[in-house]
Copies of this chain bind each other. A is one copy, B any other.
Amino acid sequence: MLTKSQVKYIQSLNQKKLRQENGAFVAEGPKILNELLATKNIEPLAIYGTAAWWRENDDLRNEIPFVAFHEISDAELERISFLSHPNQVLGVFKLPAVNLHDLENRVSVLIDDIQDPGNFGTIIRIADWFKVDHIIASPASADAFNPKVVQASMGSISRVNIAYEPLDAFLDRYKAVDIYAATLDGMPLQSFSKVTRGFLMIGNESKGISIEFAQRAKHRLTIPRYGAAESLNAAVATGIILSHLL
């Protein structure tokens, strides 16, 4: 049974402000739940599963004893789910502490105002695939713990550190790290060798990287275009560049 206040609380987690006030976010579906429950970085607070889901996952009750477990009906899941097709289970998790470390000696991704939750989530998944441990996003970027971003990240959000920082001040702190800016007027990607440290900066879906950051970048790189499309999707560009540079 779901109480009214539980429903209200979960629905409130669709808003960034209330996620931050409550220090919590939502993830849904068996696959993503299993990924999040398998990591130590993210702490579960409550799990709302249907009878079908609990039949498969009853062991959890012993494994993580401090979590609130709820068996709910399909209709109840429908009420709290953020998905257009609710999928067996919804979990509430504690927002993880941000833990940036050793940025001088690795490759990190910098996000300059990526707006689309699907793009952001896909970039987190790409970072996880290529073992990029840190994403630093401008404050105006989509929020990484928006349910749509969590969903698109397919569980990778548990393995990538994501910090929100005004990028100008952030770059001032890391002046020794080279910036690789993805732009439409840079050097061809193929002219760059592999790198082991640096900031790959990806810009907004329609405006690209702000001029001030493009000017600060030591390297501007461009994925050579052979056809006529005006641009590539921001997440696709991130994948292509990381695949080449790493």
Contact = CB atoms under 8 A, between A and B. Distances in A.
Q: How many copies does the complex hold?
A: 2
B243 A128 contact: no
Interface in A109-165: 118, 122, 125-132, 154-156, 159
A116 B237 CA distance: 19
Contact of A236 (B132, B225, B239): B239
Interface string A83-114: 00000000000000000000000000000000
B229 A243 contact: no
Contacts of A235: 233, 235-236
A225 B159 CA distance: 14
B118 A228 contact: no
A129 B240 CA distance: 13
23 contacts: A35-B230, A118-B118, A122-B233, A122-B236, A125-B229, A125-B232, A126-B233, A126-B236, A127-B227, A128-B227, A128-B228, A129-B227, A130-B225, A130-B226, A131-B227, A131-B228, A154-B229, A154-B231, A156-B228, A159-B229, A235-B235, A235-B236, A240-B240
